[in-house]
Structure 1
Amino acid sequence: MSVLRPIPSIDPIRCDPSSLFAACDLGSNDLETLFCSLDTVRQECSKGSLAEVLTIPEQLLGDYSQQRSNSSLFQILQVARNIREAVDRVVLLGDGITHGIRLLLRTCCHPFHNELSRGDRGGRPRLTFAPYPIDNDSFEGLLDLLLAPASNTDLLDRWSVLAIDSCGTSLDAAAASRVLLARLTERTHAEHSALGFHFHPLAHHDAPLMRFARALGYSDTCELPERSGGHLIFSAAGLVPASIVGIDVVRLLEGAAAMSRRFRESPPHLNPVLQFVGACRISQQRFTLEQRHFQSNHLSLAGLGNWYRSLEMQQRPLQAPQSNRVPIIDRYSSFDSTLIHLKVSHSRRDRLRLPPMDRTSDELDRFVGSFWQDLPEAFASVESLRCKSLGQPSVNLLIEQIDEYTVGQLLQLFSLSFLMEHAIHFPNETF
Structure 2
Amino acid sequence: MAKGDRVTYDPAGVFLPGSAVSATQLTALAARLNAIRSDVTQDSVEAGEVSEPDSSLSACDCTFRELPERMLDDYVEHRQQSDLGRILQTARWIRDHVDRIVVVGDVGVLSGIRALLDACCEPYFNHLTRSQRGGRPRILLAGADLDNDAITGLITLLTEGRSPDLLDDRWALLLVDTPTTDLPTKLAGRHLLRSLRSFYRADSATVAEMDAPLILVMTTVNGVRDSDRSTGFRQTIPVPADLDEGFGTFSAVGLLPAAIVGMDIVRLLEGASTANDHFRTAPVGSNSVLDFVGVNHLWRTAGPTKACGMRIWATALHATARWYAQLRQQQMGRATTANGTDRDGHREASAAERASLHPVGAEDVLWTELLVTQCRCDPLMIGHLESDPDGLNPLADRSHPDLMSAAISETIRGHRQSGRPTGVLRLARLNEHTLGQVMQMAMLAVAVEQRFPFDKTGPDPPGGLGAKNWPDFADRFLYDFR
- TM-score > 0.5, shorter chain as reference: yes
Which of 396, 411, 415 aligns to 2:443? It is: 415
User: Within 5 A, what are the aligned runs for 1:12-161?
Assistant: 12-22=6-16, 24=19, 26-47=21-42, 50=61, 52-95=63-106, 96-130=108-142, 132-161=144-173
Q: Cα offset for 1:41? A: 1.1
TM-score by length of 2: 0.77
Matched, 1:403 2:431: yes
- In the alignment, structure 2 segments of 5+ residues that lack a partner are 44-59, 457-466, 468-482
CA distance in 2, matches of 1:58, 1:163: 26
2:461 matched residue in structure 1: none
User: Partner amino acid for 2:136?
Assistant: R
SS of residue paired to 1:200: strand
SS of residue paired to 2:379: coil
Pick the structure with more helix per residue. Answer: 1
Q: Cα offset for 1:175? A: 3.2
Q: Deviations over 1:330-388 (max 9, x none)?
A: 57646464422111111112222222333438653453322312314545777667766
Which of 381, 396, 415 aligns to 1:353? It is: 381
CA contact (8 A) 1:274 1:417 kept: yes
Mean CA deviation greater in 179-188 or 220-229 = 179-188
SS of residue paired to 1:19: coil
Mean CA deviation greater in 219-228 or 235-244 = 219-228
CA contact (8 A) 1:168 1:206 kept: no
2:57 matched residue in structure 1: none
CA distance in 2, matches of 1:179, 1:213: 19
Distance 1:206 1:257, change over 3 A: closer
Distance 1:15 1:324, change over 3 A: farther
User: Partner amino acid for 1:64?
Assistant: Y
1:424 matched residue in structure 2: 452
Distance 1:380 1:28, change over 3 A: closer
Distance 1:289 1:148, change over 3 A: farther
Distance 1:392 1:185, change over 3 A: same
CA contact (8 A) 1:292 1:338 kept: yes
SS of residue paired to 2:79: helix
Mean CA deviation greater in 280-289 or 270-279 = 280-289
CA distance in 2, matches of 1:289, 1:404: 38
Distance 1:270 1:119, change over 3 A: same
CA distance in 2, matches of 1:188, 1:27: 64
Matched, 1:273 2:289: yes
User: Partner amino acid for 2:243?
Assistant: S
1:177 matched residue in structure 2: 189
1:9 matched residue in structure 2: 3
SS of residue paired to 1:234: coil
Q: Cα offset for 1:79? A: 1.6
SS of residue paired to 1:161: strand
Q: Cα offset for 1:287? A: 4.6
User: Partner amino acid for 2:248?
Assistant: L
User: Partner amino acid for 2:430?
Assistant: I
How many residue pairs are counted as aligned between the two chains?
421
Q: Cα offset for 1:401? A: 0.3
Distance 1:257 1:137, change over 3 A: same
CA contact (8 A) 2:13 2:416 kept: no
- Between the aligned residues of both structures, percent identity stands at 31
Q: Deviations over 1:223-278 (max 9, x none)?
A: 11123234311000000000000000000000000000000001122211011101
CA contact (8 A) 1:353 1:370 kept: yes
CA contact (8 A) 1:305 1:329 kept: no
CA contact (8 A) 1:306 1:330 kept: no
Distance 1:102 1:207, change over 3 A: farther
CA distance in 2, matches of 1:37, 1:14: 22
Which of 238, 246, 254 aligns to 2:254? It is: 238
User: Within 5 A, what are the aligned runs for 1:300-315?
Assistant: 300-312=316-328
Which of 371, 378, 401 aligns to 1:343? It is: 371
SS of residue paired to 1:240: helix
Q: Cα offset for 1:390? A: 7.2
CA distance in 2, matches of 1:77, 1:314: 30
Q: Cα offset for 1:219? A: 5.2
CA distance in 1, matches of 2:128, 2:190: 30
CA distance in 2, matches of 1:331, 1:165: 34
Mean CA deviation greater in 51-60 or 174-183 = 174-183
CA distance in 2, matches of 1:181, 1:321: 30
- In the alignment, structure 1 segments of 5+ residues that lack a partner are 1-6
User: Within 5 A, what are the aligned runs for 1:158-237?
Assistant: 158-190=170-202, 196-205=211-220, 214-218=229-233, 220-229=235-244, 230-237=246-253
CA contact (8 A) 1:56 1:231 kept: no
